[in-house]
Amino acid sequence: MMGTGTFAEPTLEALLNGSDPVVGVFTQPDRERGARTGATRQVGRGIKEIAQERAISVWQPENINSPEGIALLRQAKPDLLVVAAYGQILSKEVLSVPALGGINVHASLLPKYRGAAPIAWAIYHGEKQTGVTIIRMSPSLDAGEMLAQQTIDILPDETAGELEARLTPLGARLAMQVIEKLRQGPVTGAKQDRALVTKAPKLKKEDGLIDWTNAAELVCNQVRAMQPWPTAYTYLHRESKPPQRVIINRANPFPVRYDPEVSPGTVFVDQHFPGSLFVTAGLLDPEERTVVEVIALQPASKKRMRAAEFLRGHPLRQGDHFGPEEKG
């Protein structure tokens, strides 16, 4: 087994409870807390801890494709690699070690969203469905034959972290089904349609910066997609005060009448909705003036709070707006 984070944990536990012995576990090296800032994977019990509880050998090479990493793998003498969110691309030499090669548990409906962050990018792009695909591994990123696939609906308010929690047991179940088929003989998979390939690259902090010229629905998709990391953020600009960084934790599109000439990012309070915070966004249709209703947010160095609480401590005036930091 090769994996890191909560997405991989149910698969490891299913393997440990299966009929075939787990001869070893590879996971990412331990990191200092400060070095984990850029990690997009949620942390549960821990792959290392789960394996050690069952007296399974654990290896944590910086690079599995190095001579040292390959030597460790050969030492384990596996028949099959089962990979889930490991975080390293496996070379042809690594995949040639086990007689049956490797299978990968991938959190998307391949060929869509190949890459490190398929769950986040599916939400970001407004997909209504996603799922898990089990592929036969190849040296190319997430490009192998599809051995099993199952679809689930993405819930309207679901964050990437919440969606991942629903996909993890599905991935474990599909992986065990494919392993059972492999026990019975060769399995033929379906080739991926290269014309349908889309990418899901690793998230960067900058991916969380909100562009208020996007339509309200797209902004709200971004807010959901960037949780738990890197979170969606913006800067509040008020007269005679420095820009204040604000994380937007939860937001919904909301139909409110306002002057379409108002610049995107303008914050306002509608007297008909006391305690609500609205932000103008880009318009897909001038007749549908949908804004972003900010439900929960977190100013820099403050706790997460509801919009009404934020407004009590930050009275807004005409001209206040959200946008980039605008240095210089």
Percentage of residues of the chain with pLDDT beyond 90: 82
Same domain? For 184 and 79 the reply is yes
Domain count of the fold of the chain:
2
Q: How far apart are CA 5 and CA 134, in angstroms?
A: 18
Backbone torsions φ then ψ of 103, nearest 5 degrees: -120, 150
How many CA atoms lie within 13 Å of 298's alpha carbon, on the beta-carbon side? 11
Q: How far apart are CA 44 and CA 319, in angstroms?
A: 44
Q: How far apart are CA 82 and CA 85, in angstroms?
A: 10
**Residue 322, helix vs strand vs coil:** strand
82 occurs within a structural domain: yes
pLDDT at 156 over 50: yes
Give the mean model confidence (pLDDT) for residues 126-152: 96
Q: In whole angstroms, how large is the CA radius of gyration of the chain?
A: 23
At 204, the amino acid letter reads K
264 occurs within a structural domain: yes
Enclosing domain of residue 259: 205-323
Structure tokens, 67? 């001579």
Interior CA angle at 244 toward 242 and 245, to 5°? Answer: 145
CATH code at 56? 3.40.50.170
Helices 9-16 and 160-184: crossing angle in degrees, nearest 10, is 30
Same domain? For 153 and 281 the reply is no
- The pLDDT mean for the chain works out to 92
Same domain? For 190 and 212 the reply is no
pLDDT digits (tens, 9 = 90+) for 38-55: 344 455 689 999 999 999
How far does the chain reach from its first CA to its final CA, in angstroms?
A: 50
pLDDT level of residue 35 (50, 70, 90 thresholds): very low
Of the three residues 196, 224, 254, the one that is the final residue of a domain is: 196
pLDDT digits (tens, 9 = 90+) for 117-133: 999 999 999 999 999 99
CATH code at 307? 3.10.25.10
- Counted residue by residue, the chain has a size of 328
Of the three residues 162, 196, 230, the one that is the final residue of a domain is: 196
pLDDT at 317: 87
Same domain? For 225 and 133 the reply is no
pLDDT digits (tens, 9 = 90+) for 258-305: 777 889 999 988 888 889 999 999 987 666 778 999 999 999 989 999
- What is the bridge-based pairing of β-strands 81-84 and 305-306? unpaired
The CA-atom distances, in angstroms, between 156 and each of 45, 53, 208, 293 are 28, 38, 19, 15
Same domain? For 258 and 283 the reply is yes
328 occurs within a structural domain: no
Same domain? For 187 and 213 the reply is no
Backbone torsions φ then ψ of 36, nearest 5 degrees: -90, 0
Give the mean model confidence (pLDDT) for residues 205-230: 97
Strand partners, 59: 26
Q: How far apart are CA 112 and CA 172, in angstroms?
A: 20
pLDDT level of residue 197 (50, 70, 90 thresholds): very high
Same domain? For 310 and 266 the reply is yes
Backbone torsions φ then ψ of 199, nearest 5 degrees: -105, 150
Of the three residues 196, 224, 239, the one that is the final residue of a domain is: 196
140 occurs within a structural domain: yes
**Residue 234, helix vs strand vs coil:** strand
Which range has the top average pLDDT, 11-25, 263-277, 310-324? 11-25
